[in-house]
Structure 1
């Protein structure tokens, strides 16, 4: 990154929260499903009911962000631990240590940025100095764009857990969205929306995330043979279907020989059937025949005398 890159927080977020070690998607269709999953996850995190209650509340948004960060910090390692126990039945998990540590670092980095943003907002709001308010406000705006862009990135790759297993991001997104919605259903806290609207908006996001995650996992299984319960150290997935190799030669044309291939017997090789002008059998056809005189004699005189 250059110095000018830091003036664009979304570019910094892309470099920080989507590093090069995160594998690329296998095909564009799965990437589109991830984008839909990110949108549904954003709806679950921000909460449509917050807007419908009577305005967009920044304080409640920050509280939801802190709650989501705490849930991620506790739930992500627990879910990954359960899957490691499942994968141990078919292979060793020691080779997964490096991608797991990278994903954990990315998770801690994102949670640290969220906590730093919340502290910055509280400090700027409680300060009575104009200079602190101005500087903190500019920094806060930069941090808000940075954290939101980073949230979009980590929601798509889910902290790079695709480097551990291709199906792991879809699983983590499903578990997280349901865990964020279940407390509201259990406590009956529908945020003043009424029973019907509250259930729709509380369950809408996790149901949508689950449907998209199942479609993503099903496509990975059908096209590439990747299953969630299978050990990730199995055969590597192919990048895509290999097109069939066309048959040799032009279509509807019978196979033809090479017109420049050597003849099985050269017609001018000496011997039988060889050069017709070579001496011997099958040689010069004019050999042995009477030759005409080279200098015919002229008669002496007019009457041959």
Structure 2
């Protein structure tokens, strides 16, 4: 990628980081994650998030499994699944896209950012586990004990908000491919559910545990179907990575695949009829959708639905 890249945040005040809710939202829902391609996909992702939460916590509520060792073991399982599934799935899809003739080197920035999100989340979980297991020694002063409890509570709130964010955006995987969050959610949910099947309540356990991944899978299929039918995006074909030398390049028509992009500096978006007056201004730090390539420029759509021609597409960053 060339040009200035979208920052992790659009600005932050140091005092705001003392708020665990704000800090978690800032870190785990950064500005570089592109928004959903349309409101329906965003709704499907919200439903998938709720189904994922039910998979994580519904079984423990229904089976009254509130003992400390059990939640800690579940967190350990989650850490193991995340550290395995996310890198392996992303690596396999990169190999698939490369084999199908796409240059995956342009994806190194969103892939690296996703790994940073994954490492940050896993690190927060592990620190929370240590603070939960460890307790201040009897000789510890009341002040130190209060600090220990305060840090643990801050981190607990931080992890809860972070979990809500990563369950929806799956570590910013939409910046790699719009279909990747649905795939990751399905795999992670099924693996987590299968690890929860070791319960004495066999029939109840199977119903409760498997209802979550079945729902997540159904929502993921709808999400992938809408991406394919309404936006021409398929999982096996990467919409943002340019083809390798010798492969046909996007040039409009049926061969063009929509992709998200950001501009390095403010640039005007002109009307499609060729009039000289701009219809909008594209600003850095915001994602826009490229829907067509024409001889006069790149046809782009803003997040509020305005369309126009970006005549200067040099140094844009693909999402």
TM (norm. structure 2) is 0.69
Structure 1 residue 30: Cα displacement: 1.0
C-alpha contact 1:45 1:65 (8 A) present in aligned 2: no
C-alpha contact 2:81 2:188 (8 A) present in aligned 1: yes
Structure 1 residue 242: Cα displacement: 7.7
Q: Which residue of 2 aligns with 1:210?
A: 217
Structure 1 residue 220: Cα displacement: 1.0
Shifted more, 220-229 versus 56-65: the winner is 56-65
CA distance in 1, matches of 2:157, 2:117: 18
CA distance in 2, matches of 1:4, 1:87: 43
Q: Mind listing any 5+ residue stretches in structure 2 that lack a counterpart?
A: 1-11, 242-255, 260-290, 292-300, 308-319
Picking from 117, 138, 149, the partner of 2:128 is 117
CA distance in 2, matches of 1:54, 1:183: 17
Aligned partner of residue 62 in structure 1, secondary structure? helix
Structure 1 residue 66: Cα displacement: 2.3
Q: Which residue of 2 aligns with 1:229?
A: 236
CA distance in 1, matches of 2:130, 2:183: 31
Q: Which residue of 1 aligns with 2:200?
A: 192
CA distance in 1, matches of 2:168, 2:59: 23
C-alpha contact 1:121 1:140 (8 A) present in aligned 2: yes
Picking from 72, 80, 86, the partner of 1:76 is 86
C-alpha contact 1:90 1:231 (8 A) present in aligned 2: no
Q: Does 1:93 align with 2:104?
A: yes
Q: Show the 5 A alignment for 1:158-177.
A: 158-177=170-189
C-alpha contact 2:231 2:258 (8 A) present in aligned 1: no
Structure 1 residue 56: Cα displacement: 3.1
Deviations 1:90-142 (A, max 9, x none): 3121111111111111111110111111111122x353233333211111111
Aligned pairs, how many?
237
CA distance in 2, matches of 1:166, 1:192: 39
Compared with structure 1, are the counterparts of its residues 226 and 121 closer, same or farther at alpha carbon in structure 2 (3 Å cutoff)? same
Aligned partner of residue 64 in structure 2, secondary structure? coil
Aligned partner of residue 5 in structure 1, secondary structure? helix
Q: Show the 5 A alignment for 1:3-152.
A: 3-46=14-57, 48-54=58-64, 56-88=66-98, 89-123=100-134, 125=135, 127-128=137-138, 129=140, 130-152=142-164
CA distance in 2, matches of 1:87, 1:159: 20
Compared with structure 1, are the counterparts of its residues 241 and 4 closer, same or farther at alpha carbon in structure 2 (3 Å cutoff)? closer
Structure 1 residue 52: Cα displacement: 2.5
Bigger Rg, structure 1 or 2: 1
C-alpha contact 1:90 1:230 (8 A) present in aligned 2: no
Structure 1 residue 59: Cα displacement: 4.1
Q: Which residue of 1 aligns with 2:252?
A: none
Structure 1 residue 180: Cα displacement: 1.4
Output the aligned Cα RMSD: 2.2
Q: Mind listing any 5+ residue stretches in structure 1 that lack a counterpart?
A: 245-305
Structure 1 residue 219: Cα displacement: 1.0
CA distance in 2, matches of 1:157, 1:27: 15
Of Structure 1 and Structure 2, which has the larger fraction of its residues in strand? Answer: 2
